C-alpha cells in the first residue's frame, strides 16, 4: 500500500501550480471565446501565490497544508474561481486534521468532500458545463481504480484520466452557470476552461507523485 506524505503532497501542489501558470495562454484563449476572458489570468495569480506560500513553509499535517493552499486561492483570486478552486482544498481539510499521510481512501474522501461542497456552493449540477463536470468523473475514476489497487499514486493518476474525459464531455454541453451562460449555444463544441484547469491540477499532482 502506497500512501502520500505531507511533503509529497506539498511538492505535488507546487507542481500543479506550475502547470496552471504555464497554461495561462491556453486558458485565456478559451475563456475569451466563451466567458469574460479572465479565467487564465485569475488562475495564474492564485496559483503563483499558492506556489509562493507553499514554497516557504513546512507543514505539521495535511490539514495545515490544504488549509493554506485553499485560503491562499480564496484570498488572491477574485470572482468565482477563488472560492471554487479554494473549496477543492478547504472542504475536506477537517477530515485530515493531524494526519501526516494520506492513503487511497483518504484521498478519495478528500476530493469527494470537495466535489460535494463545490456543487452546493456553486448551486451547480452535472451538465452545467463547469469544472464540476471534470471533478465528478475524476472522483468516479478514483473509486474505480481503488477497486484494483490501494496505491494512492495510481489513484491520483486515475483522477487525471477521469478529469480529462470530463473535459472532453464538456464540449457537448451548453453553459448554464457564471458569465459564460450568456453565450449559451456559442459554448457548444468548446471545452469549459474551469474543467481544463481542474484536469491540470490532477495532472500536475499525479506527475509529481508518480515521478513522471
Q: Give the interface with another protein as residue ranges (CB under 8 A).
A: 36, 38, 42, 45, 71, 74-80, 82-84, 86-87, 121-123, 177-179, 182-183
Beta carbon nearer to another protein, 70 or 191? 70
- Cα dihedral angle (141, 112, 73, 190), rounded to 10 degrees? 40
Can you tell me whether residue 5 is helix, strand or coil?
strand
Output the smallest distance, CB 121 to another protein, in A: 6
Beta carbon nearer to another protein, 184 or 189? 184
Beta carbon nearer to another protein, 156 or 173? 173
Separation of alpha carbons 19 and 167, rounded Å: 17
Output the smallest distance, CB 146 to another protein, in A: 30
Beta carbon nearer to another protein, 70 or 153? 70
Output the smallest distance, CB 36 to another protein, in A: 6
Output the smallest distance, CB 147 to another protein, in A: 34
Separation of alpha carbons 195 and 61, rounded Å: 29
> Mapped to the 3 state alphabet, what secondary structure does 67-107 carry?
HHHHHHHHHHCCHHHHHHHHHHHHCCHHHHCCCCEECHHHH
Separation of alpha carbons 74 and 95, rounded Å: 20
Amino acid at each position: 500500500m502506497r500512501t502520500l506524505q505531507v511533503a509529497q503532497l506539498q511538492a505535488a501542489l507546487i507542481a500543479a501550480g506550475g502547470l496552471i501558470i504555464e497554461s495561462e495562454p491556453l486558458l485565456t484563449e478559451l475563456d475569451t471565446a466563451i466567458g469574460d476572458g479572465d479565467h487564465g489570468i485569475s488562475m495564474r495569480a492564485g496559483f503563483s501565490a499558492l506556489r509562493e506560500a507553499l514554497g516557504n513553509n513546512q507543514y505539521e499535517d495535511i490539514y495545515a497544508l490544504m488549509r493554506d493552499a485553499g485560503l491562499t486561492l480564496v484570498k488572491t483570486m477574485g470572482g468565482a474561481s477563488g472560492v471554487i478552486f479554494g473549496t477543492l482544498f478547504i472542504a475536506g481539510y477537517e477530515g485530515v486534521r493531524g494526519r501526516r499521510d494520506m492513503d487511497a481512501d483518504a484521498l478519495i474522501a478528500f476530493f469527494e468532500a470537495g466535489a460535494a461542497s463545490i456543487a452546493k456552493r456553486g448551486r451547480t449540477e452535472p451538465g452545467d458545463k463547469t469544472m464540476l463536470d471534470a471533478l465528478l468523473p475524476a472522483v468516479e475514476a478514483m473509486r474505480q481504480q481503488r477497486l484494483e489497487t490501494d496505491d494512492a499514486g495510481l489513484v491520483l493518476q486515475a483522477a487525471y484520466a477521469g478529469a480529462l474525459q470530463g473535459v472532453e464531455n464538456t464540449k457537448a454541453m451548453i453553459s448554464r452557470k457564471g458569465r459564460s451562460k450568456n453565450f449559451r449555444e456559442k459554448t457548444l463544441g468548446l471545452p469549459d476552461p474551469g474543467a481544463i484547469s481542474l484536469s491540470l491540477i490532477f495532472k500536475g499532482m499525479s506527475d509529481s507523485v508518480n515521478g513522471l
